[in-house]
Structure 1
Amino acid sequence: QPYFVTSHDDQPLVFAGLWDECMFGDAPLASCAIITTESKAQLKELHTRMPVMLSVDAARQWLSSGEGKELLLDQCLTDFKVYKVDKRVNNSRQEGEELITPV
């Protein structure tokens, strides 16, 4: 069963991540990863892990502060709207707002 997850106030969710570029032989190789943490609140019912999600302001603070994971995890959002949606949302050929309407 697919679920729709959004912030409690419908503001954009910012996923914390890491990006790096190194040389792979003679070519540059870019890589990235989403930072995860133990699931919190309503998301515990869906999975044991969740992305570290931040408000836009918290993301700016994290990026400009030079602080590590302590600030990141302290600012991680834990209040979400979570609801079941139509299973057709799993089909990449489907489009439309009705796919994320609660069922």
Structure 2
Amino acid sequence: MCARFALYASLKMMMEKYHFADTSEITPRFNIAPSQPILALGMKADRRTLGATQFHWGLVPYWAAEANGPRPVNAKAESLTNKPMFRDSFRKRRCIIPASGYYEWLTKGRQKIPMFIRHKNLELMSFAGIWDCWKRGTEKLFTCAIVTTEANELTRSLHDRMPVILSPEDHANWLDPNTTDQATLLKILKPYSESVLEIILANPVVNSSKHEGPDCLIVPSATAWLPVADDGNLPIR
């Protein structure tokens, strides 16, 4: 599952990784929540260059009667080919959603302890996304969802799902609208290697989507609220 994530990389770092055409400044965000606008990358009309845009996080299919109905923020990889909510977007409208990492919560009794999953070397993550455009008259609403898969060994202690993190060699196939072979696309949607990821503590302020600043990843010095195992370690893998 992925219902909260962060994107605080510099524009320079993102341009070096993705080589997208747009150059507008990007504001660092440390606590991105559902329904908010998020950065997404997709193939431009020339089908050779990437462009950057903003989608609202929570998919509204083009055929929905209303724009304010259910807006799933995640789409299970296993359901992309058979759920009408996702099927057309999977076939025709795929994107990459850059992230610096994402949050999950460790539940211990009544406590919910925020954790942040990121690359060990602090590389950007490329979440697999699908998008759609809902239209009524002159009104247009562009929305998206993050594709999820089974959790890997590292993250399973927090949740049984994780976002699909695309390898660089899979970017082209995922973004190319000419790639319509479902078997090829589904092979891409696998758990990411746990060997290059790490889990760190996050600040409890992240529990509220009102907090979007860098303090979300600054753990308070007083950590008495943290449960520990008998060996003195946090109860995570």
TM bracket (short chain): 0.7 to 0.9
The whole-number CA distance in structure 2 between the counterparts of 1:95 and 1:84 is 13
How big is each residue's C-alpha offset from its partner over 1:34-76, in whole Å with a ceiling of 9 and x where there is no partner?
11112112111111111111234432342237154323225x5
Match of 1:37 among 149, 154, 157: 149
Q: Normalising by the residue count of structure 2, what TM-score does the alignment of the two structures yield? A: 0.36
The whole-number CA distance in structure 2 between the counterparts of 1:37 and 1:6 is 17
Structure 1 residues 13 and 62: alpha-carbon distance in aligned structure 2, compared to 1, 3 A threshold? same
Whether contact under 8 Å (2:202, 2:219) holds in the other structure is yes
The whole-number CA distance in structure 2 between the counterparts of 1:22 and 1:98 is 35
Matched with 2:193 is 78
Whether contact under 8 Å (1:88, 1:94) holds in the other structure is no
Q: Normalising by the residue count of structure 1, what TM-score does the alignment of the two structures yield? A: 0.72
Which has the bigger relative contact order, CA under 8 A and spacing at least 6? 1
Local SS of the residue matching 1:54 = coil
CA RMSD of the aligned region, Å? 2.8
Consecutive unaligned residues in structure 2, runs of 5 or more: 1-112, 224-237
Local SS of the residue matching 1:60 = helix
Q: CA deviation at 1:100?
A: 5.9
Q: Which has the larger Rg?
A: 2
Q: CA deviation at 1:94?
A: 5.4
Matched with 2:204 is 87
Q: Give me the identity figure in percent.
A: 27
Matches within 5 A, 1:64-75: 64=176, 66=179, 67-68=181-182, 69-74=185-190
Consecutive unaligned residues in structure 1, runs of 5 or more: none
Structure 1 residues 55 and 7: alpha-carbon distance in aligned structure 2, compared to 1, 3 A threshold? farther
Structure 1 residues 93 and 5: alpha-carbon distance in aligned structure 2, compared to 1, 3 A threshold? closer
Residue-pair matches, total: 100
Matches within 5 A, 1:1-103: 1-23=113-135, 25-26=136-137, 27-64=139-176, 66=179, 67-68=181-182, 69-74=185-190, 76-79=191-194, 80-91=197-208, 92=211, 95-96=214-215, 99=218
